[in-house]
Structure 1
Amino acid sequence: MELAKVVQIVSTSHESFDDAVNLGVANAAKTIRGISGVKVTDWTAKVKGDKIISYKVTMDIAFAVESK
């Protein structure tokens, strides 16, 4: 039987939503082995004047539970 665990993370970027997702996955992979999927659950942006100055994503990261 295969099990997966899901953790929620928040990632930001000054470039784009896509960059925020990629940075989040890359940073999560530093401490989580076997990431198998990502589900973005929220997209927000900070605006100053008439421009977006930062992008933020909240996402669920799924990874396999290792058995002994």
Structure 2
Amino acid sequence: MSVAKVLEITASSTVGTDDAVKQGIAKAAETVHGITGAWVKDTQVVIENNAITEWRVNLKITFVLE
């Protein structure tokens, strides 16, 4: 039997949403082991002078407890 837990985080990038997701998962993986999946719950952008300057994603990361 295995038990999983879900962790919710927010990550950002100046490159794009894909990069924000990759950075968020990489950062979480530094301290959380057994990550099995992630769900992009929500995306946002920061706009300055009519241009997108930052992409943000809210992630739900699933990992199996040891």
Q: Indicate the RMSD between aligned Cα atoms, in angstroms.
A: 0.6
What is the number of equivalent residue pairs in this alignment?
66
What is the TM-score normalised by the length of structure 1?
Answer: 0.94
Which ranges in structure 1 are unaligned for 5 or more consecutive residues? none
What is the TM-score when the length of structure 2 is the normalising length?
0.96
Runs of 4+ aligned residues of structure 1 deviating over 3 Å after TM superposition are none
TM-fit CA distance, 1:4: 0.4
Whole-angstrom CA distance in 1 between matches of 2:3 and 2:34: 12
Identity of aligned residues (%): 38
Deviation at 1:12, TM superposition (A): 0.4
Greater Rg by CA:
1
Q: Distance in 2 between matches of 1:35 and 1:61?
A: 7
Gaps of 5+ in 2: none
Secondary structure of 2:33's counterpart equals: coil
Query: What code does the residue aligned with 1:41 have?
Result: K
